[in-house]
Structure 1
Amino acid sequence: MGNHYKDINTVCNCNKLFNAKTLHPLVSIINLSGKYEEEEIKLNTYSVLIQEHPLLGSGGRKPYDFNAATIFFRSPDKTINIAGEKDCLQSGKLLIFDTDLLCGTTLGKQIKNYTFFKYKPENESLHVSAAELKTIYDCIDNINRELRWGIDKFSSTIISNKIELLLNYCCRFYERQFITRHDAFDETYNTIRNEIDDYMLNGKIHKMGMPCTCCFSRKLNLSSAYINDLIKHESGKDFASYLQIRRIDIAKQMIIENKKSDAYIALALGFGGIANFTKLFMQITGMTTEEYRR
Structure 2
Amino acid sequence: MGEIKKISTVHDFNELLGVEDQHPLVSIIDFSSYPPRHLFRALLGVYGIYIREDEPQNVVYGTSKYDFLGGTLIAIAPGQISGAVDIGTPVQRKGWALLFDTELLRGTSLAQRIHQYSFFSYEVSEALHMQDTERDTIIACMKQIREELSVPQDEYSRTILVSYIEVLLNYCMRFYGRQFATRRMESKDILIRFERILSDYFDRGEQIEHGLPNVQMCAKRLALSPNYFSDLIKRATGERPHEHIQRFLIERVKKELTERNKSISEIAYGLGFNYTHHLSRLFKKVTGMTPTEYVVALNLK
Same fold (TM over 0.5): yes
Q: What corresponds to 1:106 in structure 2? A: 109
CA drift of 1:80 comes to 1.2
Distance verdict in 2 for CA 1:202–1:276, change over 3 Å: same
Q: What corresponds to 2:26 in structure 1? A: 27
**Residue identity matched to 1:233:** R
Q: What corresponds to 2:183 in structure 1? A: 181
Is contact 1:18–1:30 with CA below 8 Å preserved after alignment?
Answer: no
CA drift of 1:272 comes to 5.0
Instruction: Output the CA distance in 1 between the equivalents of 2:287 and 2:272.
Output: 19
Q: What corresponds to 1:289 in structure 2? A: 294
SS of residue paired to 1:90: coil
Is contact 1:35–1:84 with CA below 8 Å preserved after alignment?
Answer: no
CA drift of 1:100 comes to 0.7
State how 1:31-180 maps to structure 2 within 5 Å: 31-33=30-32, 35-52=36-53, 55=56, 69-82=71-84, 89-121=92-124, 123-180=125-182
Is contact 2:145–2:164 with CA below 8 Å preserved after alignment?
Answer: yes
**Residue identity matched to 1:113:** Q
Is contact 1:29–1:144 with CA below 8 Å preserved after alignment?
Answer: yes
Instruction: Output the CA distance in 2 between the equivalents of 1:102 and 1:257.
Output: 56
SS of residue paired to 1:73: strand
Superimposed CA distance per residue, residues 67-88 of structure 1 (whole angstroms, 9 cap, x where no aligned partner): 6500111111322125699998
Superimposed CA distance per residue, residues 148-207 of structure 1 (whole angstroms, 9 cap, x where no aligned partner): 122222222221111111011101111111111110222222222222333344444455
Worse-matched range after superposition: 154-163 or 20-29:
154-163
SS of residue paired to 2:174: helix
Instruction: Output the CA distance in 2 between the equivalents of 1:200 and 1:156.
Output: 53
- The share of aligned pairs that are identical, in percent, is 33
Instruction: Output the CA distance in 2 between the equivalents of 1:30 and 1:184.
Output: 34
SS of residue paired to 2:38: coil
Worse-matched range after superposition: 150-159 or 279-288:
279-288
Q: What corresponds to 1:251 in structure 2? A: 253
SS of residue paired to 2:158: helix
Superimposed CA distance per residue, residues 72-119 of structure 1 (whole angstroms, 9 cap, x where no aligned partner): 111113221256999984211011001111101111111111111111
Instruction: Output the CA distance in 1 between the equivalents of 2:194 and 2:188.
Output: 10
Distance verdict in 2 for CA 1:109–1:229, change over 3 Å: same
**Residue identity matched to 1:222:** L
SS of residue paired to 1:94: strand
SS of residue paired to 2:82: strand
Q: CA RMSD in A?
A: 3.1
Superimposed CA distance per residue, residues 24-75 of structure 1 (whole angstroms, 9 cap, x where no aligned partner): 011100111364213322221110111026638888989xxx9650011111
**Residue identity matched to 2:22:** L
> What is the TM-score with the length of structure 1 in the denominator?
0.84
Unaligned runs of 5+ in 2: none
Is contact 1:281–1:289 with CA below 8 Å preserved after alignment?
Answer: no
- Residue-pair matches, total: 289
Is contact 1:128–1:173 with CA below 8 Å preserved after alignment?
Answer: yes
Match of 1:223 among 222, 225, 228: 225
Q: What corresponds to 1:6 in structure 2? A: 5
Instruction: Output the CA distance in 2 between the equivalents of 1:251 and 1:3.
Output: 51
Is contact 1:15–1:21 with CA below 8 Å preserved after alignment?
Answer: yes
Instruction: Output the CA distance in 2 between the equivalents of 1:84 and 1:238.
Output: 40
Q: What corresponds to 1:241 in structure 2? A: 243
Is contact 2:214–2:245 with CA below 8 Å preserved after alignment?
Answer: no
Instruction: Output the CA distance in 2 between the equivalents of 1:211 and 1:52.
Output: 40
Distance verdict in 2 for CA 1:234–1:61, change over 3 Å: farther
